[in-house]
Structures are given as C-alpha cells and as structure tokens.
C-alpha cells in the first residue's frame, strides 16, 4: 500500500450555510395563530369541502377539517388559488380543472365544482431563536449566555467533522 495517495475532501461551512440550516430547523417547528384577515400564501386554511363533476360526487371529493398550507403545493393549483383571499366562516365555490395527465384517469382533464366552507385561517409563526428552541434540538444552555450563538458554532464544527470523516 506504499505510495497510495488518499485525497481527503474538504468542505467549508459558511455562515450562510449555518443560517440556512437554522432557518430550515425553524420551518420544521412552526406554530399557527388564528387571524381574522383574508388568507394569503403561507397561511394554513382549515375547511370542509365537497366536489361534484356533472352533479355527482367522486372518490376523494369530500373532506372535513382538512388543513392546507397555501402555496405548499399539496392540493391542485386551481384549488389553492381558489381559497386564496377567504376568511374564516366564508363559503366559496371553487372550480378545479384536473390536469390532463392526472393520475386518476377518470378525473384527468375534467373540471370539478367544489363547495368549500372555511373554518379557520391561521398565520404561520416561526419559533424564536431562544434557549427553548435550542433545547428542542438537544442543545443545552451555556452558563449565562443564550445557547444559540454556541449552537451555531457547534453546528458548524459538527458539519466540518462530518465532512472530514467522508
């Protein structure tokens, strides 16, 4: 094995990498607060709905207490767009065209008319970068200072160690 060269990869972890990782962790633990305004992108809307095609219900056309985060792409775009701007307590009719390549061939290319009753509109709140947040991820408080600066340093060091082991 003499003369065999091994190149150890080196990865730099920048402050922006750490900030992006911390933001990602915050996004994983949001809370939602009820609001009395119209819904907008990023809000969670809880609703009941029933859809009909040619006056008839179809599989998956009914839901109760369904929570949707607007803009997350978990529902068809026409449906999400149709509930933008609604308030809690409102009823709305939403026409949803299923894409031609939709996985359920019986719905592909067809339009359903949904009756929607909005129960709640909630705004997403990200957790503060405080000791409680750090503790959720197992980072204990430093002696007398907030753990978050230490946590960011620890995350950077751990990222470097992980990269160095590769």
Compute the distance between CA of residue 72 and CA of residue 103 in angstroms, rounded to an integer: 19
- Burial code of 42-76, b = ≥16 C-beta within 10 A, e = fewer? ebbbbbebebebeeeeeeebebeeeebbbeeeebb
Q: Which 8-state DSSP code applies to residue 56? A: B
Question: Cβ–Cβ contacts within 10 Å for residue 39, how many?
Answer: 25
| Model confidence pLDDT, tens digit, residues 114-148 | 999 999 999 999 988 887 888 887 777 653 345 55
Question: Cβ–Cβ contacts within 10 Å for residue 17, how many?
Answer: 14
Q: Do the beta carbons of residue 111 and residue 100 sit within 8 Å?
A: no
- Return the axis-axis angle of helices 147-165 and 15-27, rounded to nearest 10°: 110
pLDDT averages per 10-residue partition of the chain, 166 residues: 81 83 88 96 97 94 96 94 97 97 94 98 91 79 52 58 46
């Amino acid at each position: 094995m003499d003369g065999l060269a091994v190149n150890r990869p080196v990865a730099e972890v920048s402050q922006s990498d750490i900030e992006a990782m911390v933001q990602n962790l915050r996004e994983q633990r949001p809370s939602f607060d009820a609001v009395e305004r119209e819904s907008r992108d990023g809000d969670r809307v809880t609703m009941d709905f029933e859809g009909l095609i040619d006056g008839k219900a179809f599989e998956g056309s009914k839901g109760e207490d369904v929570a949707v985060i607007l803009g997350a792409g978990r529902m068809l775009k026409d449906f999400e767009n149709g509930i933008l701007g609604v308030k809690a307590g409102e009823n709305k009719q939403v026409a949803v065209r299923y894409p031609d390549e939709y996985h359920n061939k019986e719905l592909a290319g067809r339009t359903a008319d949904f009756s929607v009753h909005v129960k709640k509109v909630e705004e997403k709140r990200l957790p503060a970068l405080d000791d409680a947040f750090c503790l959720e991820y197992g980072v204990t408080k430093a002696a007398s200072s907030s753990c978050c600066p230490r946590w960011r340093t620890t995350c950077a060091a751990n990222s470097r160690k992980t990269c160095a082991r590769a």
